[in-house]
């Protein structure tokens, strides 16, 4: 029997606590020997601008092997539809058939933000109150909400190419009681205790010397060769953490310091090792820390496994015809 959970149902079943707990467990599993992640595959549709990626992993501790397919169709914005969509598939471990299909577009927003919240709880200074956000799209909204769960954020400075989008985003956050306003990149960096970058940039978004001592940065936009959000000069002097270091130097933000890593001049710590006490987290108030979240399938597997359990318990999962 193959179980199906629609986008509408999965979006109702997910919440920030479930995502945080699932992602934290996944990041630890990525390094403790209880799971295996496989190299991602990237491709495009018949129109080259329409992109997709396939990420997969085997979570031995859960007894689940799964695949996450993520797509980016930029023209969807004209149709007032999400540009990003996701779907997660689970295999039957005995025969290899697909036993679960879960549409997970909204879930992916929660999952991605949860990774940065888990890292921020570990790496950011506990009293951080000012957040700079580069990007004003859908993911930026998930990011601010998730980080507010772990840090006492009071002020949000929004940097975005489209000024109108930044104004709208600021108004939404102000309605939630935050001091939120659009900003230029320099002023945002000079004021922030934490910086989040959620863009599709292919060049640094700001100058390295604008970032204050003690700042924590979370970057998620670099998930393919050539993408870049941070200046390499900043990475050279910061402490570097990643969800999966081997992937980060191939397609993530740290591809831009891959040579330094290869030559032994820089070290990338798996955030899972910091979470389980096998590696140091922040060591001083002046240390600049960077977390690169290029995204791993284990995060999707651990989160969707929890959603699937909720759906089955509530009776909202559907059996696909002809799969009994």
Task: Report yes or no on 122 lying in a domain.
Answer: yes
> What pLDDT, in 10s, does the model give residues 17-55?
999 999 999 999 999 999 999 999 999 999 999 999 999
* Percent residues over pLDDT 90 in the chain: 94
What average pLDDT does range 243-272 have in this prediction?
Answer: 97
Whether the model clears a pTM of 0.85, i.e. scores above it, the answer is yes
Domain boundaries, position 29: 3-108+298-319
Where residue 320 falls among pLDDT bands split at 50, 70, 90? Answer: confident
> What pLDDT, in 10s, does the model give residues 171-188?
999 999 999 999 999 999
CATH of the domain at 262: 3.40.50.720
> What pLDDT, in 10s, does the model give residues 200-257?
999 999 999 999 999 999 999 999 899 999 999 999 999 999 999 999 999 999 999 9
> What pLDDT, in 10s, does the model give residues 58-67?
999 999 999 9
9 and 36 both lie in a single domain: yes
26 and 72 both lie in a single domain: yes
Residue predicted with more confidence, 83 or 144: 144
Task: Report yes or no on 192 lying in a domain.
Answer: yes
Nearest to 138 by CA among 84, 203, 205, 184: 84
pLDDT value of residue 323: 62
pLDDT value of residue 324: 58
159 and 282 both lie in a single domain: yes
215 and 235 both lie in a single domain: yes
Task: Report yes or no on 68 lying in a domain.
Answer: yes
135 and 188 both lie in a single domain: yes
Task: Report yes or no on 212 lying in a domain.
Answer: yes
Task: Report yes or no on 324 lying in a domain.
Answer: no
266 and 159 both lie in a single domain: yes
pLDDT value of residue 181: 98
Total of domains in the chain: 2
Task: Report yes or no on 16 lying in a domain.
Answer: yes
211 and 100 both lie in a single domain: no
144 and 191 both lie in a single domain: yes
248 and 266 both lie in a single domain: yes
pLDDT value of residue 322: 61
Nearest to 104 by CA among 77, 82, 120: 82
277 and 164 both lie in a single domain: yes
234 and 208 both lie in a single domain: yes
CATH of the domain at 13: 3.30.1780.10
pLDDT value of residue 77: 86
289 and 308 both lie in a single domain: no
């Amino acid at each position: 029997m193959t179980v199906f959970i629609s986008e509408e149902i999965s979006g109702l079943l997910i919440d920030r606590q479930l995502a945080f707990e699932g992602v934290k467990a996944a990041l630890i599993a990525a390094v403790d020997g209880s799971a295996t992640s496989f190299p991602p595959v990237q491709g495009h549709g018949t129109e080259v601008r329409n992109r997709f990626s396939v990420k997969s992993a085997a979570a031995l501790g859960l007894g689940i092997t799964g695949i996450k397919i993520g797509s980016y169709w930029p023209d969807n914005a004209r149709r007032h539809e999400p540009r990003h969509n996701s779907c997660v598939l689970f295999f039957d471990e005995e025969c290899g058939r697909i036993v679960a299909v879960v549409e997970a577009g909204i879930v992916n927003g929660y999952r991605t933000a949860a990774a940065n919240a888990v890292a921020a709880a570990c790496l950011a200074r506990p009293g951080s109150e000012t957040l700079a956000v580069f990007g004003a799209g859908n993911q930026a909204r998930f990011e601010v909400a998730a980080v507010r769960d772990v840090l006492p954020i009071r002020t949000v400075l929004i940097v975005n190419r489209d000024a109108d989008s930044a104004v709208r985003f600021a108004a939404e956050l102000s309605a939630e009681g935050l001091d939120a306003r659009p900003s230029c990149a320099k002023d945002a960096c000079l004021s922030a205790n934490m910086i989040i970058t959620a863009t599709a940039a292919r060049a640094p978004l700001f100058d390295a010397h604008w970032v204050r001592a003690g700042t924590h940065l979370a970057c998620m936009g670099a998930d393919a060769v050539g993408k870049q959000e941070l200046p390499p000069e900043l990475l050279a002097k910061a402490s570097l953490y990643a969800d999966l270091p081997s992937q980060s130097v191939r397609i993530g933000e740290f591809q831009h310091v891959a040579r330094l890593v290869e030559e032994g001049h820089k070290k990338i710590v798996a955030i899972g090792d910091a979470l389980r006490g096998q590696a140091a987290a922040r060591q001083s108030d002046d240390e600049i820390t960077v977390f690169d979240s290029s995204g791993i399938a284990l995060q999707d597997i651990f989160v969707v496994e929890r959603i699937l359990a909720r759906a089955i318990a509530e009776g909202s999962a559907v059996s696909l015809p002809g799969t009994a």
